[in-house]
Structure formats: C-alpha cells, structure tokens
Amino acid sequence: MSAITQDKKKLNGNGVLGPISKGFDAAIMYGLLFVSLMLVTGKEITTESLAMPALLLFLVVNGADYAAAKKNGKSTPQWIVVGSFVLAAGAAVAMTVLL
C-alpha cells in the first residue's frame, strides 16, 4: 500500500478539520429540524432563532462531553450521544412552538 493511500484513509477517518464534535452534531441536528419544522408550520425563520440555540447546544454538549469523557481520557459515553439528539430535537420543537 502506498503512502498516498494510507494518507487518504487517515484523512477520510478524521475529516479535513479533524473529528467532528458531539456539540457540532447537536447544533447541525437542531438547525435541520428547526428549519424543516418552521417551513412546515409556515413561520418566519430568523438568524437569532436559528443561531443562538444552536450555539447554546454546542456549548452545553461540548461541556458535558469534556466533563464526562475528555477530562478522564475516556471515549464519549453513549448517554452524551443520545442526550445531545434528544436535546436538539426538544429545542427545535420548543422553538417552533414558541415562535
């Protein structure tokens, strides 16, 4: 196997900028769910209603991930992954109902 092939496999495993954090995943999930729910309900989408909760989700999930796993040098617990999805889905539904 050549060095170029090995480098491509290493790049594909980590992404271009490194591994994606769970907080970024939660923010993207919130954005996708929020925009689709707002389009279905016919409500107005603003930058504040999209960006602020996504940033807050990013910070909360990354903070919990750091406190639970990275601080001790362990891998990410499953409850962080499931909890971040539940938090993102709940935030998207709540923001849709409130706006």
Q: What is the 3-state secondary structure (H, E, C) of 20-35?
A: CCHHHHHHHHHHHHHH
pLDDT single digits (tens) 8-20: 555 555 666 777 8
For tokens 């939660």, name the residue. Answer: 26
* Predicted structure pTM score: 0.77
pLDDT single digits (tens) 19-77: 788 889 999 999 999 999 999 999 998 888 899 999 999 999 999 888 888 777 778 88
Look at residue 7 and tell me whether its pLDDT is greater than 80.
Answer: no
Residue 20: its pLDDT value, please?
81
> What are the structure tokens assigned to 62, written together?
């990354």
